[in-house]
Amino acid sequence: MKKWNVGTRRSRLALIQTNWVVDRLKEMAPEADFALHEIVTKGDRILDVTLSKVGGKGLFVKEIEQSLYDKETDFAVHSLKDMPAELPEGLVIGAIPKRVDPRDVLLSKDGKTLDALPEGAIVGTSSLRRAAQLMAYRPDIQIESLRGNIDTRMRKLAEGNFDGIILAAAGLERASFDGTISQYLPVEISLPAVGQGALAIECRADDTETLELLRQLDHQPTRLAVTAERSFLHKLQGGCQVPIGAYATIGEGDLITMTGMVGSPDGKQMFKNTASGTDPVALGIQVAEALLAQGAGEVLAQVLRENEQ
């Protein structure tokens, strides 16, 4: 009997996601056996430091990728938004399952919506993308850093440190926290991170047996959308430490429509562009180039300089 070794982070959300993938694969290949390998990543070890200050790129995936190279594991389940725009040599995304809700959500004291938060409200997030967009919409809001896994962040809200916090709907949904959401933020206010709400199952490019297994879980419309978003991210050379967002949807005839965003961390400058096309890579590049033509390159360069200090 074939046994697959599966890499995962140890967080509650990561384990839920990995078990979800393994359960789907067991339905498709009842004769197969799966063993989970929990891997502690650098990102998990430095939860008390703002991610943007430690060079966030790939912080949650590096050790897991090493275990793929070492053949200690055959595939690994990641949140797609934690993955750098470019995969290391020899590794591929073998499957992208159907995306769940890509939106950001507000969790607040007394269930208040963003518009109902008091003047000068304190909102917790360590994401430059979320902070920039919140301040663009409500310049009076004070952003404070908020790190940790979902449980930690929700506890800090309950302890009264914040008027509200921003999280991804996807994580809450998968971990069944959904009763606590105060508002789903429209993508017009908070454009999601590239790949938000999607999972990526990574494996070795030459491992045809694993690729064949994983292919059954691949959702083509999600792959098209996420490929456009990642092409946009790649063109802008962005990681999770820059205020970049993108969201693509698939319409009739596999027409992809994508909005891309670059903002300054204070939200005072916002560059957005929306375009449609059928080639996801070309569309990502096209939207990125439209933002660069508006002046987004200077904002990105400024953020990178600040991160280096």
Options 26-34, 74-82, 208-216, 286-294: segment touching ligand PBG (CB under 6 A): 74-82
Cα–Cα dist 235/173, whole Å: 31
Options 78-86, 113-121, 135-143, 274-282: segment touching ligand PBG (CB under 6 A): 78-86
59's tokens: 């912080």
Strands 75-79 and 199-204: antiparallel
- Measured in residues, the chain has a length of 309
CA distances from 188 to 97, 148, 168, 272 (A): 25, 27, 15, 10
Between residue 177 and residue 196, which ones bind ligand PBG under the rule CB under 6 A? Answer: 196
Is 157 a binder of ligand PBG (CB under 6 A)?
Answer: no
Options 109-117, 167-175, 230-238, 273-281: segment touching ligand PBG (CB under 6 A): 167-175
Per the DSSP assignment, residues forming a β-bridge with 276 are: 257
Residue 46 CA, distance from chain mean position? 18
Cα–Cα dist 183/288, whole Å: 29
Is 79 a binder of ligand PBG (CB under 6 A)?
Answer: yes
Q: Which of 63, 65, 74, 82 binds ligand PBG (CB under 6 A)?
A: 82
198's tokens: 């999607």
Is 170 a binder of ligand PBG (CB under 6 A)?
Answer: yes
Active-site entry in 33, 48, 74, 82: 82
* Structural element, H or E, at residue 64: helix 62-69
Name which of 170 and 214 has its Cβ closer to ligand PBG. Answer: 170
Name which of 167 and 285 has its Cβ closer to ligand PBG. Answer: 167
304's tokens: 């990178």
In 3D, which of 130, 148, 47, 112 has the Cα closest to residue 156? 148
Q: Which of 134, 143, 146, 167 binds ligand PBG (CB under 6 A)?
A: 167
Q: What phi, psi does 38 have (nearest 5°)?
A: -85, 130
Name which of 233 and 285 has its Cβ closer to ligand PBG. Answer: 233
Is 129 a binder of ligand PBG (CB under 6 A)?
Answer: no
Name which of 197 and 280 has its Cβ closer to ligand PBG. Answer: 197
Q: Could you list the active site residues?
A: 82
Residues engaged in binding ligand PBG (CB under 6 A):
79, 81-82, 167-168, 170-171, 196-197
